Structure 1
């Protein structure tokens, strides 16, 4: 009997550690389409400002509503779906985003536009926690790699904003937003194809969790932790992601203006370093997750935020020649912990995957959006040079990551 069951057990264990690549690539593609729809909003800013005669304050409110609804609502949706996960929420969220795209294309005035943006934000808030749960179930034993594949899709979608502005919205104007409905329709089709697999895995996962709860105890580091220690670690993680979001907002939103002011670059020339930062961040997101599977989640978080500190500190003092290679390296390092933070949150809260994902990719980044508003106000008061200098110290907050509990104690 032992000889007969041994190989079967080994094969089953091996299958459990394998990532389901078709599912990962499919949900990553949906993530790209979702974040592309979000990217439509800032890409349309210059067009909307003219077509609806918006003030800069109104443009700021549009960005604020998009970020707050898409980010802050994520942990709320995640907490609800942890108690009662509904796979149908995935296509429903995309449907809301489709309504938002149509609303933007035909909005006759500011308030209609703001309502359309809220629909896009809510659709994104519904998608992200459930999307992270799909990744969690498809990851096998490669959670860092799986989350990286998923996040690379989202980052790639966000990076399409400048291209959409040039090739769609400048020629077509506000009505060009109707192209976003194609993104939503394609995403809904993919998600409908994923639903049978997702429903089956959710049922299997629920069975495994109930058996684990009634079976052996203390099998993970987190289960041995006292509740206050988990709360401290989660609070520290959100704080770290918050600081990284502030820095990311400072570079992606304001560094181009600093380059124009400090080096006399044109608007087009100033986009190049920012693009290098974002593009390198996409690569860093992927490789960070892969390296985390090998070296540990906590170690990668320390490296990504704390390791970026010396690079960030020298950036405001460089000549233009050195800005290009240094900001590329900076983008790779600082975003190498992007997906790792989500996986670490799931490690801390294994029974609340939706809330863990919402707190790291939602609430913390919503607070980062508020940080962008604060940095913009500070730039008006104190000047861009002082704000960039202040931002260069933000990655030092990453040293607090040393206080996080290790995820590799069990292996040792």
Structure 2
């Protein structure tokens, strides 16, 4: 891993500015892949749990809700704390909770033990995301959209691979085989220890402060507009992740119920959607750097609406094609939204990342629980018809300001 930094460096928004440290960016992206791959095992085995334990859709929704709640509530607090007191090795420690959760999930024999298991995995996620997002920001070299896309690519790729591996390893052989994923957790811990060493060295260099020029980019908007802009971004996140919850938690059931596909086939189709999400994430960040984050948010959120509205009414082939298109388009917004938010509130990377990642998990959890209850009352097809209207919230993007900055310097 390349950790060499020139003696004369520049800080921008409390970040060392140089060329992107790609070795660090791809390594932290790889750990994001491992982290989200393990997390995605949870919804991937829902059909197995429903069959083995006789769970209702409401109980399935509560499992997701419990995981997402523990993964979301702690993130803003972790981010706020580490903005003030960075903890480079907290990444490896947090992954230890994920390891314990996987072992517990493989052995869980009741609904409440499953809830406990997924909450441990959620705690691991709440520690991982704010600090790993800060590592990506520090290694960005000023190319923040690109850095976030590389980082998010790992997470989305892991989210896509997880159901595929679950279909090959867990679904045919049973719940106990979740233990194979504990090897992934151990690998992630070892890699994150190395990331922690780079992070610590980075902090030591910054503290040394020899021959450093400080530059802070201040957005030229009022405090009121900042609050309004952040509120709009949170509303856009709600529409994106509430819709994503309907797909990640219930797309397999939708396909099984409507088209009578097998459980393993449904997992492969879910993999196609999640792979498209990974591709869209990689595209969104660099496009935001080039064409402006607001433009990408417009296209990603509102632009996906025609496809979501059409999806519940077509045959199997077009359902998969539309799901892939939706995955690519809707996922391109996240990096743009996150970087736009950090531009509005400079110097608060951990807090912003914790808030927005936390909201993403929180909305996914609440959405899954509500949609599970609604599916029990109506049908799986009905929730896809209702959720299809969520991207129309993207019209709020028009109220976001076009950001302009001034730079303040000092030694």
- TM norm structure 1: 0.85
CA 322–164 in structure 1, closer or farther in 2 if over 3 Å, else same: closer
Higher radius of gyration, 1 or 2: 1
CA 287–206 in structure 1, closer or farther in 2 if over 3 Å, else same: farther
Instruction: Look up the SS of the partner of 2:88 in the other structure.
Output: coil
Instruction: Look up the SS of the partner of 1:86 in the other structure.
Output: coil
Q: Distance in 2 between matches of 1:396 and 1:50?
A: 36
Indicate the structure with greater strand content. Answer: 2
Instruction: Look up the SS of the partner of 2:174 in the other structure.
Output: helix
Q: Distance in 2 between matches of 1:175 and 1:265?
A: 25
Instruction: Look up the SS of the partner of 1:220 in the other structure.
Output: strand
Q: Distance in 2 between matches of 1:112 and 1:386?
A: 31
Instruction: Look up the SS of the partner of 2:40 in the other structure.
Output: helix
- Corresponding residue number in structure 2 for 1:374: 370
Indicate the structure with greater helix content. Answer: 1
For the aligned residues, what is the CA RMSD?
3.0
- Corresponding residue number in structure 2 for 1:387: 383
Q: Distance in 1 between matches of 2:385 and 2:316?
A: 16
Q: Does 1:401 find its partner at 2:402?
A: no
Given candidates 245, 261, 275, the residue that maps to 2:241 is 245
Contact kept in structure 1, 2:43 and 2:248, CA below 8 Å = no
Task: After TM superposition, give the deviation of residue 307 of structure 1 in Å.
Answer: 1.4
Contact kept in structure 1, 2:153 and 2:281, CA below 8 Å = yes
Contact kept in structure 1, 2:25 and 2:136, CA below 8 Å = yes
Task: After TM superposition, give the deviation of residue 27 of structure 1 in Å.
Answer: 0.6
Contact kept in structure 2, 1:297 and 1:407, CA below 8 Å = no
**Equivalent residues in 2 for 1:261-410, closer than 5 Å:** 261-263=257-259, 265=261, 267=263, 270-271=266-267, 273-407=269-403
Contact kept in structure 1, 2:79 and 2:350, CA below 8 Å = yes
Q: Does 1:61 find its partner at 2:62?
A: yes
C-alpha distance after superposition, 1:205-231 (max 9, x if no partner): 5688xx88xx77xx5342x33222212
Task: After TM superposition, give the deviation of residue 371 of structure 1 in Å.
Answer: 1.4
Q: Distance in 2 between matches of 1:353 and 1:136?
A: 8
Question: Which is further off, 37-46 or 347-356?
Answer: 37-46
Q: Does 1:220 find its partner at 2:217?
A: yes
CA 336–85 in structure 1, closer or farther in 2 if over 3 Å, else same: same
Task: After TM superposition, give the deviation of residue 348 of structure 1 in Å.
Answer: 1.8
- Corresponding residue number in structure 1 for 2:4: none
Q: Does 1:164 find its partner at 2:160?
A: no
C-alpha distance after superposition, 1:133-174 (max 9, x if no partner): 000000112111111111111111112233232332235433
CA 323–27 in structure 1, closer or farther in 2 if over 3 Å, else same: same
User: How many residues are aligned here?
Assistant: 395
C-alpha distance after superposition, 1:68-101 (max 9, x if no partner): 1112221121112112111121111011211222
Task: After TM superposition, give the deviation of residue 388 of structure 1 in Å.
Answer: 2.4
- Corresponding residue number in structure 2 for 1:115: 116
Q: Distance in 2 between matches of 1:202 and 1:306?
A: 40
- TM norm structure 2: 0.86
Contact kept in structure 2, 1:303 and 1:333, CA below 8 Å = yes
Contact kept in structure 2, 1:17 and 1:142, CA below 8 Å = no
Question: Which is further off, 166-175 or 395-404?
Answer: 166-175
Contact kept in structure 2, 1:296 and 1:407, CA below 8 Å = no
Q: Distance in 2 between matches of 1:269 and 1:10?
A: 53
C-alpha distance after superposition, 1:159-202 (max 9, x if no partner): 22332323322354332222222112111111111222211323
Contact kept in structure 1, 2:163 and 2:267, CA below 8 Å = no
Q: Which runs of 5+ in 2 are unaligned?
A: 1-6
Question: Which is further off, 248-257 or 20-29?
Answer: 248-257
Q: Distance in 1 between matches of 2:317 and 2:110?
A: 45
